[in-house]
Amino acid sequence: MILKENIKNSFSKAAKTYDNYAFIQRNIAEKLISFINQEDKYKKIVELGCGTGCYSGFLRKRFLDSAILSIDISQEMTDIASKKNPSIQCINADIETLALDFFDDFDFITSNSVIHWLNNPFYFIKRFNEIRKLPKCLLFSIFGNNTLAELSKFIQEPLISVSFHSKNEWEFFLQDNFPDNFTLIPETSHKTYPDLISLLRSLKYTGVNVKDNNKFIWSRKLIKETEKKIISEFNEIRVSYEVFFVKINLSPSRSS
């Protein structure tokens, strides 16, 4: 299990460079917002893991009059998000430590490209089965286990010290805990880079190259060797980003 402090530090360091490199995350945010039906009306919205506020901005444009609370584990990220979206309240907190009753007054819970970073994403989502107040909608995007598969194929050490889960794992979990109340839509996109250095730089400057305490070192020799293997296999420096878009309709707990 990766240390939560490592995740916070990685994204905090990338706060100032994030927006210049987060093309994938921005595209996912645009897709995620499209899963909100035109007739959906929510009064109180909570965004889990706001980063620098890209998805927050999409939420504000979609819900002009709603109260929106955005949360992130990185103070540096929330500072930027707050400046970009002054009409949204942004707070610094670890979403995994929030009590379930914290969410009681929100009728829409959403998160873009964040939940896969949690220590136990399945347990975190499962807890929402115990919602006791308003009917709610939970909408989120997560990376799948085929993300960066092309690069992972040629290096022995994990590029990112987090194990993304497969489509089958998520479908099994959702069917077991939210039977017939969810939709999961998979989507895979590809991005090419001029060279391996550019790819590694984009990971670093968006904070996603989270490492555990056994730091993996990219030497010049390893970069050249890996770049050569990737080009030989795919004729270009290309990686895949597998994303799952999940929408769950939550009902108040029967025990309420």
Show Cβ contacts of residue 38 under 8 Å, excluding neighbours closer than 6 positions. Answer: none
Give the contacts of 39 (CB within 8 A, at least 6 positions apart).
none
- Strand, coil or helix: what is 48? strand
State how far the alpha carbon of 80 is from the alpha carbons of 176, 205, 230, 252, in Å.
38, 15, 36, 35
Alpha carbon distance 144, 222 (integer Å): 26
**Per-residue pLDDT at 253:** 57
Q: Which helix (H) or strand (E) holds 83?
A: helix 75-84
CATH superfamily of 4-148+161-190+241-250: Vaccinia Virus protein VP39 (3.40.50.150)
Strands (E) across the chain are located at 44-48, 67-72, 89-92, 108-112, 136-143, 182-193, 237-250
DSSP state of 52: T
Q: Residue 98's pLDDT is what?
A: 94
The reported pLDDT for the residue numbered 254 is 46
Burial of 64 (0-12, 13-18, 19+ CB in 10 A): exposed
Quote the distance between the C-alpha of residue 76 and its chain's center.
Answer: 17
CA dist., res. 138 & res. 249, Å (int): 6
Rg (CA), the chain: 19
- Spatial separation of the C-alpha atoms in residues 115 and 219, rounded to whole Å: 31
Adjacent-strand bridge partners of 190 = 240
How do the pLDDT tens digits run along the chain, 256 residues long? 557 888 899 999 999 999 999 999 999 999 999 999 988 999 999 999 999 999 999 999 999 999 999 999 999 999 999 999 999 999 999 999 999 999 988 999 999 999 999 999 999 999 998 887 777 899 999 999 999 998 888 876 666 667 899 999 999 999 999 998 999 999 999 999 999 999 999 999 999 876 655 566 788 898 999 999 999 999 999 999 999 999 999 876 544 4
